[in-house]
Amino acid sequence: MKKSPVTTIVAIGIGAALFFVLGRFVSIPSPVPNTNISTQYGLLAFMAVLFGPVAGALIGFIGHALIDFSFGWGVWWSWVIASGVFGLLVGLASRKIRLDEGKCGKKEILGFNVAQIVGHIICWGLVAPVLDIVIYAEPLEKLFAQGLFSAVSNSVTTAIVGTLFCIAYAAAKPKKGSLKEEE
């Protein structure tokens, strides 16, 4: 189902705000320096499936920028961009998942999780480290340790949180033909 531009803009605002709250207040410190176990990527992946790649990219970009800004150390643009790219990639890869139609079976769950895992590997194993090198001249060993940890931990949390969001949303949608009048 095609979403109106107003609905998409509202979803971007709400999604970025929720991404910020989850990333700022519901992240778990990790043993890898400057890296957290993040719950917000499950929400981001879910919103990207519902509202598409542009909304997913903007939710990730704006939400991550707000998180970094709120900590006071400055915005770490390489990771902000990677969050936006993750939303974009999941939105593009998940176009065949029709949560609005109440469909979220094994095939949709598998498609969602393949998309998010590949997205995390690309973003945290390639995009963020390469941009860290180009923008900040960071040491290689640190970058790939952070990237690997982030790809794995974000994939796990997205598989749990995002899949639960997708299942709950699809279950709440009326199924086609379920509102027939009884004879």
On whether residue 130 sits in a domain, the answer given is yes
On whether residue 178 sits in a domain, the answer given is no
CATH code (residue 42): 1.10.1760.20
Q: pLDDT tens-digit profile of 135-180?
A: 999 888 888 889 999 999 999 999 999 999 999 999 998 776 666 5
On whether residue 181 sits in a domain, the answer given is no
On whether residue 165 sits in a domain, the answer given is yes
pLDDT given for residue 139 in this prediction: 85
* Report field, pTM of the whole predicted structure over 0.85: yes
On whether residue 13 sits in a domain, the answer given is yes
Strands 28-29, 36-37: parallel, antiparallel or unpaired by DSSP? antiparallel
Domain containing residue 48 = 5-172
Q: Rounded to an integer, what distance in angstroms lies between the CA atom of residue 101 and that of residue 118? A: 25
97, 43 in Cβ contact below 8 A? no
Total domains present in the chain: 1
